[in-house]
Amino acid sequence: MCHPLFKLLLPHTRYTLHINVVGRTLLLRRGGIIERAMGSGLEGTKVLMAKGMSCLTYSSLCFPDDIQERGVDCIPNYYYRDDGLKIWSAIESIGFPSSLQSIPELIKYLTMWIYCCSARHAALNNGQYELGAWMPNFPATMRNPPPQAKGTISLESYLDTIPEVNSTSTILFTLWVICCEPGDSRSLGTYPDEHFTEEEPKRLIAAFQGRLAQISQEIQERNKSLPIPYRYLDPHQIENSTSI
């Protein structure tokens, strides 16, 4: 029989291995998108990835710890923090079999796993096209060094610096693909494959789904008053797993 923990995590690993293979095949191979359209190229990307991994800690993957360590727990109107903490709390409160309730470290680890596979990925991934579709927001490459002082650049030098059309088109297509909702999307807390048949797990899942629905409603109500709504951590917009 499958262990209950594997049942719990299975929906949150759906398509993840597949998308990793696709990423290595299309993005990271020789002649792929990164080499053709990004200023860092493959070698520069390796340096950036190594630098990022050197800073990765267990605490940085645990959302409440990360918020405190970065000193952003008190700044106003930080919706990534506010919505993320609600999602984290909802995941944490699912509960586990009684034999594991005395191991809070395991609960925290599993919460981190599910959160990173779903909400963390959605917050970092899903807004890339909306921001990057206006290429000057974050150009993937530059043909000249950036200006060193304000007011010293002309339209001609600006046009000579921004990426060429082919590079921009490649990056925009890539951003559109990775932000496009898959046809068989399963939002956070949606479990059409019934892995648990016992009454207690089913009750906990229903409570989790109810809390997510409440969080979604709170976010949508708040967004009505915002000039630019922040919806990337609306549970309805969060995929169960890192699948794109």
Listed as ranges, residues in the chain with pLDDT below 70 are 1-2, 95-102
Q: What is the pLDDT of residue 95?
A: 60
* Number of neighbouring beta carbons within 10 Å of residue 31: 8
- What global pTM score does this model have? 0.86
Backbone angles phi, psi at 45, to 5 degrees: -65, -40
Q: What is the pLDDT of residue 101?
A: 54
CB 11 within 8 A of CB 241: yes
Closest CA to 121 of 87, 93, 90: 87
Residue 60, CB-side half-sphere exposure with 13 Å CA sphere: 7
Q: What is the pLDDT of residue 234?
A: 97
Q: How far apart are CA 234 and CA 73, in angstroms?
A: 20
**One-letter amino acid identity for 83?**
D
Quote the tokens at residue 65.
């710890």
Q: What is the pLDDT of residue 2?
A: 61
